[in-house]
Amino acid sequence: MNPVIERKQAKVHMAGRSSSIGRMAVRLAIYAFSLFLILGPISSLVIWSFAEKWFWPHTLPQQWGFLYWAKVFDGKMLHSLTLSFGIAFLVTLISILLCLPLSYLIARYRLPAKSVLLLIFLLPQAFPQLPVFTNAMVLMYKWDLVGTLTGVTLIHLVGALVFSVWTMVSVFQHISASLEEAAVNLGASRLRTFFTITLPMAVPGIIASSLLVFLYSLDEFTGSLLIGAPFITTMPVFMYNSAMGYEMQTASVTGLLLMLPGIVLLLLMQRFMKSEYMAAFGRG
């Protein structure tokens, strides 16, 4: 082979290799920066949760230990954690029972003002939460629901129904209506078709919707504080009270305990939520 051609090919090869290395370096830098943004705040929580003594100007705690973890689990936090999970489970169950038939009707039938109906469910998220929950609190005072478990559950449902309805509508829109029509033509009733054909196919989407509602209820703060305080103290409210009292260790432990279920449930939701469901949002 001609030496000139060989040198040109070598230069092209080296240029391609350099370009590949450069792209890899940029990609690694982006990954490192993303990890820093994600893990930076979390690392601060972890350090504070194990810091028994940490005073300025020391960069790291002078004394490490599990003192505040033990205090948190021996105190009121465990009750708040159990209460938050119980409320989130109850809100999720009620949302499924209410939104499952409604979402199916919206997705399958030509209801009058269907877009308006969906918009009504979206309105609580279209405005700042504080005025929405404040107005709801005025009504709940009239019904003597402030400071009760029923009141907190109802205020969680205000936002939870948005996630539940819109997600389930998109799930049922994704399922082909021709399958139901075929079952009906073969003699099955509409009710039997729903339970034997449609509902089993919608299970992954229903699970994803339930996880969204559960996470929303578990992390809901504004409504829980306005409606539940001082008798119903959920985990977010407990963390807020700790932070306002400058109990950084207690607040950090509580924050980590709130974050871990969210990470696990989001990973589960990623498994069940299909891209086709997300693409169907808002389709009439």
Please check whether residue 194 lies inside any domain of the structure: yes
pTM of the model: 0.74
SS (H, E, C) the chain: CCHHHHHHHHHHHHHHHHHHHHHHHHHHHHHHHHHHHHHHHHHHHHHHHHEEECCCCCCCCCEECCHHHHHHHHCCHHHHHHHHHHHHHHHHHHHHHHHHHHHHHHHHCCCCCHHHHHHHHHHHHHCCHHHHHHHHHHHHHHCCCCCCHHHHHHHHHHHHHHHHHHHHHHHHHHCCHHHHHHHHHCCCCHHHHHHHHHHHHHHHHHHHHHHHHHHHHHHCCHHHHHHHCCCCCCHHHHHHHHHHCCCHHHHHHHHHHHHHHHHHHHHHHHHHCCHHHHHCCCCC
d(CA 106, CA 119): 12
Q: What is the mean pLDDT of the chain?
A: 79
pLDDT, position 13: 56
Statement to judge: residues 56 and 118 lie in one domain:
no
pLDDT, position 19: 63
Query: Encoding tokens for residue 141?
Result: 């005072």
Mark which of 49, 64, 79 sits at the end of a domain.
64
User: What is the per-residue pLDDT across 84-113, written as a single tens digit (0 to 9) for each?
Assistant: 999 999 999 999 998 888 888 888 877 777
Asked whether the beta carbons of 277 and 169 are under 8 A apart, the reply is no
Backbone angles phi, psi at 148, to 5 degrees: -120, 160
Statement to judge: residues 127 and 175 lie in one domain:
yes
pLDDT, position 8: 56
How many domains would you assign to the chain? 2
Low-confidence stretches of the chain (pLDDT < 50) are 275-284
Statement to judge: residues 48 and 79 lie in one domain:
no
- Determine the structural domain holding residue 114 and report its residue range: 67-279
User: What is the per-residue pLDDT across 250-276, written as a single tens digit (0 to 9) for each?
Assistant: 778 888 887 887 777 777 766 655 544
- Chain centroid to Cα 206, Å, comes to 14
Domain containing 214 — which CATH number?
Answer: 1.10.3720.10
Asked whether the beta carbons of 47 and 60 are under 8 A apart, the reply is yes
Please check whether residue 284 lies inside any domain of the structure: no
Statement to judge: residues 50 and 131 lie in one domain:
no
Statement to judge: residues 140 and 226 lie in one domain:
yes
pLDDT, position 273: 57
Statement to judge: residues 223 and 263 lie in one domain:
yes
pLDDT, position 153: 92
Mark which of 13, 41, 64 sits at the end of a domain.
64
